[in-house]
Amino acid sequence: MAPAPGTDTPTRRPRRTRGEGQWALGYREPLNANEQSKKDDNPLNVRARIENIYAHRGFDSIDPGDLRGRFRWWGLYTQRKPGIDGGKTATLEPEELDDRYFMLRVRIDGGQLTVQQLRTIADLSTRYARDTADLTDRQNIQFHWIDVRDVPAIWEQLEAVGLSTQEACGDCPRVILGSPVAGVSADEIIDATPAIEAIESRYIGDKAFSNLPRKFKSAISGHPGHDVVPQINDVAFIGAVHPEHGPGFDVWVGGGLSTNPMLAQRLGVWVPLAEVPEVWEGVTSIFRDYGYRRLRSRARLKFLVADWGIEKFREVLETEYLGRALVDLEAPEAPVTPVDHVGVHRQVDGRFFVGAAPSVGRVSGTLLRQVADIAEAHGSNRLATTPMQKLLVLDVEEDRVESLVDALDELGLHARPSQWRRNTMACTGIEYCKLAIVETKQRAADLVSELESRVPELDSPITVNVNGCPNSCARIQTADIGLKGQLVVDEDGRQVEGFQVHLGGALGLDAGFGRKLRAHKVSAEQLPDYVEKLSRTYLAQREDGESFAR
């Protein structure tokens, strides 16, 4: 193009870029039905309608906008109607998949529970949820089979012991992951509990943060062992020592899995404990104001961080939201493998905590009541859930430890589990999830039992994460063997439930996503043979100290 008269550079028409619905750039009008619904009525307001209308008139009285939208802000999702196979998931309308019962998610910020709280959860499970209770990989506990008529009574009993379902789902700040051993671990750099409590009390339920572009996942742990999987959260604060300022937190932003997985990046800053809530507010506000709202598939913080780059993100945080510069921090060392706290460990106060592995996070109200009784009988008043679907009993005197381990073992909660039981996780799957294509929980539990008898000699971790669809709730891309549920064609040419395999994912120092091996699709029936073969090849060919992934 010739230069314009009087200039020595070519003129260009400014490129029209289509807005992505960022509020800070003036796109305040909703660009899709989800945004419209949130604008029409703040989703937190749905609680009053549940209490005053729906709980009295029943399921058929529920407004569809509340049912499939705003209910989530109070931890409620309709569960999948029983008997619809995975092949129909994508072909049916949402209402055709809706059961008349709900999943209800109880948020447990930091994973900390008293014996009384666990008993309450157990009682609610047996009374209202057909004895269901799943430990999720975000430290929540989920009930199923909840009738909307029972929801106010459930809230009343949860809130009487300091628990809540507020913002457990929805486009808002979800449960805050925290170290299950905060305040008692000998390895901890700093106890993050005050920061988690401050964020929970200041911001959860605050309407200034209840309409985010999509879900927002936080993790805050003073343990250096990456026990809250920081690299796959929207924002994470991880214990780190600054050479001049001492213990504080290293900050990560922009992680997330699902169909466009990205690992969080370090901001390169050090934040003291007292400033964590303010910095959390700044990062969350950036997401609210600059996050993309046009397409749900791009409405996570990771896309903004990827587009801006980490330097610009830090600059906007410092100049527009904090009004000051943050302290620089060099990258601390990360652990090779994230710590899961399973086993028997001495606390800083000389007592012990015991971490036990249920099979793929599936427990029940009956079992949780027994755990509460056992903990109390062994002098403990504290338990914790973990992001690895495990359960811990804390504050146990040394002379009670072995008796506790034995009692948990009898319940199927193993403090010295096989590598298979310890390192296999599964999402909810087709039993209750409307997006699922395949069954996961029972299949993964059966796989664990099968592998324990077929390959009992496995002596180093192989993580197996089983997902019912591409959404990656059970972190498929970060497992040694990640299994993504889909229909596959078996040897007889029939479409059957199966998995696309991803191999070699990891978190911690070696973080990276597993490779999707196109040729590696396995039917559910062949799964035990497939995993056995892989593990036997690893055991036969590994060199000294070589892990499965690296």
- Site residues (vs ligand SF4, CB under 6 A): 427-429, 433, 435-436, 467-469, 471-473
| β-pair partners for 77 | 103
**Token pair belonging to 355:** 């971490």
The CB density around residue 10, as the number of other CB atoms within 10 Å, is 9
Q: Of 355 and 468, which has the nearer Cβ to ligand SF4?
A: 468
- Contact criterion met (CB below 8 Å) for 234 and 256: yes
Given the complex with ligand SF4, which of 467 and 535 has the nearer CB atom? 467
Angle subtended by helix axes 276-290 and 193-203, to nearest 10: 40
Read off the DSSP letter of residue 549: -
| Cβ distance to ligand SF4 smaller for residue 218 or 467 | 467
- Provide the minimum distance between the beta carbon of 426 and ligand SF4 in the complex, in angstroms, as a whole number: 8
Comparison of 176 and 436: residue with beta carbon closer to ligand SF4 = 436
Min CB(440)–ligand SF4 separation in Å: 6
Q: Closer CB to ligand SF4, residue 140 or residue 467?
A: 467
% helix, strand, coil for the chain, step of 5:
35, 25, 40
- Report CA Rg, the chain: 24
CB 177 within 8 A of CB 228: yes
Q: Cα separation of 49 and 225, whole Å? A: 43
Quick check: 164 and 158 in contact, CB under 8 A?
yes
**Min. distance of Cβ 471 from ligand SF4 in angstroms?**
4
Nearer to ligand SF4, 388 or 435 (CB): 435
State the pairing for strand pair 76-80/481-489. unpaired
Q: Select the residue whose beta carbon is closest to ligand SF4 and give its number.
A: 468
The three-state DSSP-derived secondary structure of 153-216 is HHHHHHHHCCCECCCCCCCCEEEEEECCCCCCECCCCCCCHHHHHHHHHHHCCCHHHCCCCCCE
Cα gap 454→535, rounded to integer Å: 10
Smallest distance from the beta carbon of 73 to ligand SF4, in angstroms?
A: 18
Q: Minimum distance between the CB of residue 474 and ligand SF4, rounded to whole angstroms? A: 6
Residue 97 or 199 having the CB closest to ligand SF4:
97
Residue 419 beta carbon to ligand SF4: minimum distance, rounded to whole angstroms: 23
DSSP codes of every residue in 79-105: EEPTT--GGGTTTS-HHHHEEEEEEEE
Centre a 10 Å sphere on the Cβ of residue 20 and count the other Cβ atoms it contains. Answer: 20
Output 47 or 484, the one with its CB closest to ligand SF4. Answer: 484
Q: Which is nearer to ligand SF4, 225 or 468 (CB)?
A: 468
Q: Which string of b and e fits 187-220 if b means at least 16 CB within 10 Å? A: bbbbbbbebbbbbbeebbbeeebbbbbbbbbbbb
Q: How far apart (Å, rounded) are the C-alpha atoms in residues 189 and 185?
A: 9
In the complex, least distance from residue 233 CB atom to ligand SF4, rounded to whole angstroms: 17
Q: Which residues contact 527 (CB under 8 A, 6 or more apart)?
A: 443, 447, 483, 498, 499
Pick between residue 471 and residue 526 the one whose CB is nearest to ligand SF4: 471
Give the shortest CB-497-to-ligand SF4 separation in angstroms: 12
Name the residue type at position 549.
Answer: A
CA 381 → CA 389, 392, 396, 414, distances in Å?
Answer: 20, 11, 9, 20
Least CB distance from residue 91 to ligand SF4, whole Å?
A: 16
Give the nearest distance from C-beta 76 to ligand SF4 in angstroms. 15
- Nearer to ligand SF4 (CB atom), residue 148 or residue 483: 483
Task: Specify the residue, 165 or 465, whose C-beta has the smaller distance to ligand SF4.
Answer: 465
The answer for residues whose C-beta is within 8 angstroms of residue 137's C-beta and 6 or more apart is 361, 387, 388, 389, 425, 473, 474, 475
Compute the least distance from the CB of residue 105 to ligand SF4, in Å. Answer: 12
Q: What is the largest CA-CA distance in the chain?
A: 90
Query: Measured from the CB of residue 359, what is the shortest distance to ligand SF4 in angstroms?
Result: 17
